[in-house]
Every structure is written in C-alpha cells, then in structure tokens.
Amino acid sequence: MHMQEDLKNTQVKNFFDQPHDQLRDYLKAKGHKAFRADQLYSWVYKKREESVESMTDLSKDFRAEIDSILEFKRPEVVEFRQSVDGTQKYLFDVGEGKTVETVMIPLKERRTLCVSSEVGCNLGCKFCFTGKYKLKKRLSAGEIVGQFLEVNDRLIKAGDKGVTNVVFMGMGEPLDNPEGVFGAIEILQKDKGLQFSRKRVTVSTSGLVDLIPLVTKSGARLAVSLNGSNDEVRSSIMPINKKYPISVLMDACKKHIEESGQDVTFEYVMLKGVTDDMTHARELAKLLKGVNGMVNLIPFNEHPGSGFYKPDNKRVDEFQKYLLGKGIKTYKRTTRGDDIYAACGQLNGVVKGNQPKN
Ligand code: SAH
Ligand code: SF4
C-alpha cells in the first residue's frame, strides 16, 4: 500500500506548477496529444473549473487518467484578516507547517496583490522582519499562482473587481527563487494562461544583479530596493551590497530600462538616523540623475527588536520635496494595513503577529 502511494506521488505533478509549455511536454511524454494542454489550460484558467469531471470536452479515457498524472493543488488559506482601511491579509499553508502571507491592497480602482515568493529569506537585510529568519522554502510556481487565484476568486465572489496588479513584494527575495517566480509569471501573463497584463506585474529585488535580465525577459516591471544612497550605508543594512555595490546595480537597472523601455521603481526605506539625512537625499538625486525611474519612499514600519525607528513625517516630506525639486518622480508610500500587521517588512508568516518558531 505504502509503496504504491509513493510510486503514485512521484508520478503526479501539480497542474498549477506547470507553465503551458512544460505541461504540454509532460503530457506528450505520457503519450497524450499536445492540444490536451490547451484544453486543460482553458478549463482551469479561462473557465475557472478545477473539477475534471466537469471538463466535458475531454475524452472519458483521458479524464479517467488525469488523476494518476496530475493533481490540482493550491495552498489553503488558514487565516484571513481585514484592516479598517480595506487591506486584506491572507495566511497560506505551504506544507510542512510553513505559512506565507499575501496582502491585497485596494486603492481607488486598483486591487494590488502583494505575493510572497519564499518562506524566510537569506539576504538578511537588517531592517526586514522576513530577513530575520533564514530561508526555509522556495515556493513553487503553483504556490505563487495559488495565492493569486484564491484572492482573485474571493474578490470576484464578493462582487468586487478582481486583482488588477501583482507585486512580488511579500516575503522572500523573488530572484532567489527564479524557477517558482518566473514560472508563476508565465502562467499569469501568457495568452494561454490568465492573460494578466505584463505591465501589471512587478518584481521587487534587493539587487541580485545577475538575474535582473530574467525580469527584463519576462516583461514584468522592475522595482529595486535601493534603501541606501552610498555603499557604506547600503552595505551596513543590506549585506548583498558587498557583492553587488550600487554602481553595479545601477548599471543593471539602466540596461533593463534600455532593453524593456520601462521605468524602474526605486524603493527607499527611510530609517531614522540611518537613511533619512538630507545628505542622503542629495546623494540619491545624483545617483538617479538622468535615469528613467521613480522613487518610492517607504517610511520604516517598526517591528519589535529591530533597533530601527521610523523617520519623522516632516523629514519624509522634506526628502520628497527635495527629490521632486530635482525633477525625480517621488512618491510616499502610505502605510496600509498596519493594524493587521500587514505593512511592508512586517510579514513573517505567523498567525496573530507572534514570533515565528525556528
Ligand atoms: N525581497 C524583495 C521583495 C520583498 S521586500 C526586496 O527586498 O525588494 C519589499 C520591500 O519592503 C523592499 O523594498 C524592502 O526594502 C521593504 N521593507 C522591508 N522591511 C521593511 C520595513 N520594516 N519597513 C518598510 N519597508 C520594509
Ligand atoms: Fe529578503 Fe527583501 Fe527582506 Fe531583504 S528586504 S531580507 S531581500 S525580503
């Protein structure tokens, strides 16, 4: 009995992990026609039907066989909370007792979904709650697509519009998990998949420079967590800067801008007394001079024991005003969902905001 189960498990693949071409090749290897992949994709991603019995144009034999070669497994929601400002936070079970958080932020016509790509993160940025905990798991494409499907379905069921934008700004470093992240992006964007507009997907990276060309190739937008205006400051809060210093990172960004024709968003976390000095604003302006990009100023969201503090509002305004004066598009990110502990850098995948178990 056990052996049979094991054998079965090695053969069965999760449908949601398969970009279209991969599914087609897998089905072909199992002796099925390539168009079966199109049919399954259309049922699941266009008609949003996941029960094989209901897929009426599939032959009886094929339907009977699907069970032994494919499963339709999405991560389950184990907790849901909604903020007074409408922000929603979902906790998903990704197996082995591990969970990730997904945040949906409504703003006017937008429904932005902030998805997680990993449990924990090895980049170890000093100010980040997720980064306090070593990487425990890279999510599969299906576990990322599943976050989207679940929230999107719920929004639509509640009579709201569906998700309009997807940002990889939840837990984890997307470029440390290229297989899961770009697999998910393919499923989201491809004509045969969910047909989600390319420009409405943003990958945020702490600056894994070697893999930025993958973002360019995918057609997604690029956001870079700059967070420091010189190498000394940046290295002190983001260890990755020792490997890829600012000049190398900026060159990669410029290349992306040139090749994609898209702007880059530079995220800049303002940490009181660390990154919020006006000299930093001046350095930032120099760095971004002539670069097609915009700055997102993110006032630090405090979390216990971080040793960092949020900047004064006045300073954030002054910073913004200075950059705007230099002709740099600069936005302030307003804190959303902090009453449910869903703001940037507050995600740790644990229910009720208590400390993660290691
Ligand atoms: N790993 C990716 C994406 C996830 S972090 C990255 O680093 O870009 C998403 C954003 O939240 C990053 O810009 C990061 O700098 C910022 N961030 C992390 N912790 C934060 C905190 N406590 N307060 C405000 N922003 C934070
Ligand atoms: Fe990882 Fe991003 Fe947090 Fe840095 S800021 S530790 S890269 S999740």
Reported as a single tens digit per residue, the pLDDT across 294-331 is 999 999 998 888 999 999 999 999 999 999 999 999 99
Residue 90 within a domain = yes
> Strand, coil or helix: what is 271?
coil
Percent over 70 (pLDDT), the chain: 92
Yes or no: say if 243 and 210 are a contact pair by the CB < 8 Å rule: no
Statement: residue 4 has pLDDT above 60: no
Cα gap 8→280, rounded to integer Å: 58
Other Cβ atoms less than 10 A from the Cβ of 208: the count is 20
241-288 confidence digits (pLDDT tens): 999 999 999 999 999 999 999 999 999 999 999 999 999 999 999 999
Which ligand is in closest contact with the Cα of 300? 1
Structural domains in the chain (count): 2
> Are residues 140 and 61 part of one domain?
no
Mutate-to-test residue for ligand 1 from 221, 225, 334, highest number of ligand atoms within 8 A of CB: 225
| Percentage, residues of the chain above pLDDT 90 | 82
- Mark whether 101 is an active-site residue: yes
Q: What 3-state DSSP class applies to 154? A: helix
Mean pLDDT score across all residues of the chain: 91
344 belongs to the catalytic site: yes
| 279 lies in the same domain as 149 | yes
Task: Band the pLDDT of 171: cuts 50, 70, 90.
Answer: very high
The protein residue with its alpha carbon nearest to ligand 2, atom 6, reads 131
Which residue, 50, 40, 43, 47, is CA-closest to 18?
A: 40
Q: Which domain holds residue 328?
A: 76-353
Beta carbons of 349 and 78 less than 8 angstroms apart: no
Q: How confident is the model at residue 189 (pLDDT cuts 50, 70, 90)?
A: very high
* Burial class of residue 84, CB neighbours in 10 A (0-12, 13-18, 19+): exposed
Q: Does residue 25 sit in the same domain as residue 167?
A: no
- Asked which of 45, 71, 97 is the last residue of a domain, the reply is 71
- Examine the domain organization and report whether 36 and 181 are in the same domain: no
Residue 30, CA distances (Å) to 27, 36, 37, 73, 344 in order: 5, 11, 12, 20, 44
Q: Which of 114, 125, 128, 344 is catalytic?
A: 344
Q: Measuring from each residue's beta carbon to the nearest atom of ligand 1, which residues come in under 6 Å?
A: 127-129, 169, 173, 204-206, 225, 227, 267, 269, 298, 300-301, 303, 344-345
Distance from residue 358's CA to the centre of ligand 1 (Å): 21
Q: Residues 45, 127: one domain?
A: no
User: pLDDT at position 228, please?
Assistant: 98
Check whether residue 124 and residue 141 sit in a common domain: yes
